[in-house]
């Protein structure tokens, strides 16, 4: 009898993870504010909040507040909450991110639930809002540079291991995805099957400053996700319209913007796209890939070359002019 009970208990333990394997469903049916062609005369709301499910929120800062229109994600567990990125607006009077997020948090033991503010990467349009959370009780803001990322999440073999954040009845995996920046990470929420990929992978321009690291990150993320259930892949921006054309750089108005979510089929295309990337600029389907650093280097080299040509031409002209003045024969035979 004891043997049978032990076998049944073992079978239950094996089946329990499978019972939780399917993620909870949520709503991604949302029309994001398109910004405005006249931000002064017809400004949209500064911050849009969409409830994916009762414990998951997607927020976006208005395109009129920042043409980046960054997305921000709030995940709520039973003991603490996680805010992924803090957007591009530091001034709370222009986009009250901190007040909005704090109001969404439930009470725990008579107080607001603790909140941890983390980031996908260190670019300012994903962390400018950190200042709104500074000094707030029960709020921890994690630095976005590589030492802070490694220390906070407990990586031992960056970028080859995966860390976890336990929110209480909700575990979020943290996967290194450097390439866009050295400290870039993506997040996988086991509860919903959502992947938060920041600027590593999004519907728009893929800025790649370390090609080898980015290629390795694509393989690493695909290997990690493997057979795990993935509901959607949600990036940091939308930069394409519904026809797959890039939105104009710096535009505050996206009237025909494509939806935010990507899926595993999109992600599986990424390694081949990166394999064909020359490290400077390229396009694969609707994705534009480029390296800001290398393009700036090329522009600087071109500017220096142009300056050198102008300088050499000016030196030649001055020497030629002096020779003409010194030799009357040249002055009469050579054109001016």
Q: Grade residue 161 by pLDDT with cuts at 50, 70 and 90.
A: very high
Which tokens is 312 given?
């050499």
CA distance 183 to 194: 21
Residue 150 lies in a domain: yes
Same domain, 209 and 312: no
Instruction: Band the pLDDT of 292: cuts 50, 70, 90.
Output: confident
Nearest residue to 183 via CA among 119, 118, 116, 121: 121
Q: Of the candidates 161, 169, 206, which has an alpha carbon nearest to the alpha carbon of residue 185? A: 161
Same domain as 310, residue 277: no
Same domain (yes/no): 173, 253: yes
Q: What is the domain-level CATH number for residue 121? A: 3.60.15.10
Domain co-membership, 315 together with 256: no
Regarding whether 218 and 164 lie in a shared domain, the answer is yes
Is 25 part of any domain? no
Q: Is the pLDDT of residue 117 over 80?
A: yes
**DSSP 8-state code for residue 160:** S
85 with 141, same domain?
yes
The model's confidence at residue 335, banded by pLDDT at 50, 70 and 90, is low
Q: Examine the domain organization and report whether 281 and 323 are in the same domain.
A: no
- Determine, yes or no, domain membership for 11: no
The overall average pLDDT reported for the chain is 91
Flag the least confident range among 212-216, 220-224, 271-275, 290-294: 290-294
Domain boundaries, position 306: 300-333
Q: What is the pLDDT of residues 61-78, one digit of tens each?
A: 999 999 999 999 999 999
121 and 56, same structural domain? yes
* pLDDT given at position 310: 84
- Is 232 part of a structural domain of the chain? yes
* Residue 23 in domain: no
Domain count, the chain: 2
For residue 297, the model assigns a pLDDT of: 60
Same-domain check for residues 203 and 313: no
In the chain, the percentage of residues whose pLDDT exceeds 90 is 79
Same domain, 192 and 310: no
In a domain, 20, yes or no: no
Kindly indicate the confidence band of residue 249, based on its pLDDT and cuts at 50, 70 and 90.
very high
pLDDT at 159 over 60: yes
CB within 8 Å of 270: residues ≥ 6 apart: 201, 218, 222
Q: Is the peptide bond before 159 cis (omega within 30 degrees of 0)?
A: yes
pTM here is: 0.86
Contact call for residues 75 and 56 (beta carbons, < 8 A): yes
pLDDT at 17: 42
What is the side-by-side order of every strand in the sheet holding 205-207? 205-207, 287-290, 281-284
Alpha-carbon gap, residue 230 to 5, rounded angstroms: 35
Q: How confident is the model at residue 325 (pLDDT cuts 50, 70, 90)?
A: confident
Which residues make beta-bridge pairs with 56?
53, 75
In this structure, are 319 and 239 located in the same domain?
Answer: no
321 and 224 housed in the same domain: no
Mean pLDDT within 186-215? 98
Residue matched to tokens 């603490």: 80
Q: Write the DSSP assignment of 86-134 as a string of letters.
A: --S---TTT--HHHHHHHHSPEETTEEPPEEEE-S---GGGTTTHHHHT
CA distances from 125 to 68, 103, 167, 172 (A): 7, 23, 25, 23
In a domain, 275, yes or no: yes
Beta carbons of 87 and 54 less than 8 angstroms apart = no
Q: What are phi and psi of 265, to 5 degrees?
A: -60, -40
Confidence of residue 173 (pLDDT cuts 50, 70, 90): very high
- In this structure, is residue 295 part of a structural domain? no
């Amino acid at each position: 009898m004891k043997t049978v009970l032990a076998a049944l208990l073992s079978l239950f333990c094996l089946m329990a993870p499978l019972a939780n394997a399917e993620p909870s469903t949520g709503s991604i049916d949302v029309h994001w504010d398109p910004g405005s062609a006249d931000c002064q005369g017809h400004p949209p709301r500064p911050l849009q909040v969409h409830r994916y499910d009762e414990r998951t929120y997607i927020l976006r800062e208005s395109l009129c507040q920042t043409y980046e229109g960054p997305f921000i994600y709030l995940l709520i567990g039973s003991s603490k909450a996680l805010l992924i990125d803090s957007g591009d607006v530091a001034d709370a009077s222009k986009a009250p991110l901190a007040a909005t997020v704090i109001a969404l948090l439930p009470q725990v033991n008579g107080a607001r639930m603790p909140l941890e503010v983390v980031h996908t990467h260190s670019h300012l349009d994903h962390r400018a809002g950190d200042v709104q959370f500074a000094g707030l009780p029960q709020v921890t803001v994690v630095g976005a540079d590589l030492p802070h990322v490694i220390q906070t999440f407990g990586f031992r073999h960056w970028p080859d291991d995966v860390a976890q954040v336990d929110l209480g009845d909700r575990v979020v995996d943290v996967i290194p995805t450097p390439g866009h920046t050295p400290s870039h990470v993506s997040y996988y929420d086991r509860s919903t099957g959502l992947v938060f990929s920041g600027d590593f992978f999004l519907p728009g321009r893929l800025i790649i400053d370390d090609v080898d690291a980015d290629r390795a990150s694509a393989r690493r993320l695909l290997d990690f996700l493997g057979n795990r259930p993935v509901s959607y892949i949600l990036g940091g921006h939308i930069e394409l319209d519904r026809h797959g054309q890039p939105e104009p750089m710096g535009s505050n108005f996206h009237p025909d913007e494509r939806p935010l979510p990507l899926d595993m089929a999109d992600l599986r295309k990424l390694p081949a796209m990166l394999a064909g990337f020359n490290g400077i600029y390229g396009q694969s389907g609707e994705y534009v890939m480029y390296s800001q650093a290398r393009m700036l280097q090329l522009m600087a080299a071109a500017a220096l070359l142009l300056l050198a040509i102008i300088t050499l031409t000016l030196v030649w002209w001055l020497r030629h002019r002096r020779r003409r003045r010194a030799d009357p024969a040249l002055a009469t035979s050579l054109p001016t």
